[in-house]
Amino acid sequence: MYLQKGVPRLSNFKVCKIAHFLQTLTGAILDLKNRLQQDYEQAYPGLGNVVRIALDEEEEKAWDVSSFPHLLLPDLVETHMERLGLQPVSMRHDNLLAPGAFIEIESDRLSPAYVDC
């Protein structure tokens, strides 16, 4: 039952469950990295290689710190990009409810709207 003294032998079922978990986690992290890569490339056009390097470095740190690196990766990458001192072209999702064209009203005079119901 034991391979080494005090180390229990894993059943095939447990090995399969662990392998499935790691496969699922690895897939989730790959998807997350792809989304983060796209988001940061939009914010920092022309710096795709810098973003990729930051993602790779921070993924390694996230794996060192946690068994659930996908929970830490977005914050680690954000901090990494801030430390680089780069200015994003624009911040996304400033106001999710207002379309971009309606965020600011450039008129000095506002006229009341009238709706006849």
pLDDT of residue 103: 45
The candidate with the shortest Cα–Cα distance to 40, out of 83, 94, 90, is: 90
pLDDT-derived band at 29, boundaries 50, 70, 90:
very high
Mean residue pLDDT across the chain? 80
Contact of 54 with 80, CB cutoff 8 Å: yes
> Do 33 and 26 form a contact (C-beta atoms < 8 A)?
no
For the chain, the C-alpha Rg in angstroms (whole number) is 24
pLDDT at residue 87 above 50? yes
Give the torsion sign (CA, 44, 49, 52, 58): negative
Residue with tokens 């090995």: 15
Rounded CA gap, 93 and 97, in Å? 9
- The pTM of the full predicted model, rounded to 2 decimals, is 0.62
